[in-house]
Amino acid sequence: MTDAVTPLLETRALRLGAAERVLVQGLDWAVRRGERWCVIGRNGTGKSLLLRALAGLAVPERAGGIAWQGRLQQEWPVGAAAGVRALMPQQPQDRFALSVARLLALSEVVRGPAADPHAPRTLMADLDIEALADRRADRLSGGERQRVALAQCAIQGAALMLLDEPVSFQDPGHQQVVGRWLADRPATGAWIASAHDPGWIARVATHVLALFGDGEWRAGPVAEVLREDVLERTYGCRWRAVEGSWIAE
């Protein structure tokens, strides 16, 4: 856990597909401590599929290797894996009437004796969900539930957080709240989030992985990937940079 050099996540010739379509091919990629990645791509280009595969969940078609902290996924015992990666799903399935506080308590995995006992309360304040602690999770609004899901993922305590669309239901104010919180994560960990707004991504991420939908991809620091030509290839429409923001045309 103290090894600062080994990437938190590494993929080797990763190939993912669904319904006889190749979505990601030949992905050689590494995510290191302190890096904040956003995955961009059109709907159905495999962003959720990639995050599921990176978390170790089953996906329709998969080939190649994924390693967490230098050790192949399948070699991790299920209990230890919970300490190295956490996944925030796009749609949490609430079948029982659990309160937000209970959901968060059940999501805690890594909590040594040195852990800060106030961390959960600080987290809830940071994500503006303090007032929801006693509410039923299945009765929250989409945006509230999404921030609770983000808190669940964070409270697990894994070094690598995989976030499937953490701001898709957030109002503009809460997009900034979540963005600031994500940009402030300690450099001992890393996160990978799927997102769409290049302006938001430019403010919170250090790196971007663009999926083009045909298996091709482009990965690198924000300045190298958030460019007119790459965005146009990603989304199929023209883009214009205006005062640090991006406008689709």
Question: Which parts of this chain interact with other proteins (CB under 8 A)?
Answer: 55-57, 78-83, 85-87, 89, 92-93, 95-99, 101-109, 111, 117-118, 120-121, 124, 133, 156
- How far from the centroid of its chain's Cα atoms is residue 42's Cα? 16
Cα-Cα-Cα-Cα dihedral sign, residues 229, 231, 237, 240? negative
Closest approach of Cβ 87 to other proteins, in Å? 5
Pairing mode of beta strands 217-221, 71-72: unpaired
- Amino acid at site 166: P
Beta strands in the chain (DSSP E): 9-18, 21-31, 36-40, 61-68, 71-72, 85-88, 160-163, 190-194, 207-211, 217-221, 239-242, 245-248
Measured from the Cβ of residue 109, the count of other Cβ atoms closer than 10 Å reads 14
Nearest residue (CB) to other proteins, 91 versus 141: 91
Closest approach of Cβ 206 to other proteins, in Å? 25
Nearest residue (CB) to other proteins, 165 versus 230: 165
Nearest residue (CB) to other proteins, 78 versus 242: 78
Nearest residue (CB) to other proteins, 105 versus 248: 105
Closest approach of Cβ 231 to other proteins, in Å? 32
Nearest residue (CB) to other proteins, 137 versus 230: 137
120: which 2 tokens?
Answer: 């959960």
Closest approach of Cβ 25 to other proteins, in Å? 25
Cβ-based burial of 175 (10 A; exposed 0-12, middle 13-18, buried ≥19): buried
Closest approach of Cβ 88 to other proteins, in Å? 10
Nearest Cα neighbor of 188 from 68, 56, 8 is 8
C-alpha dihedral (148, 150, 153, 156), degrees to nearest 10: -60
Closest approach of Cβ 105 to other proteins, in Å? 4
Nearest residue (CB) to other proteins, 105 versus 183: 105
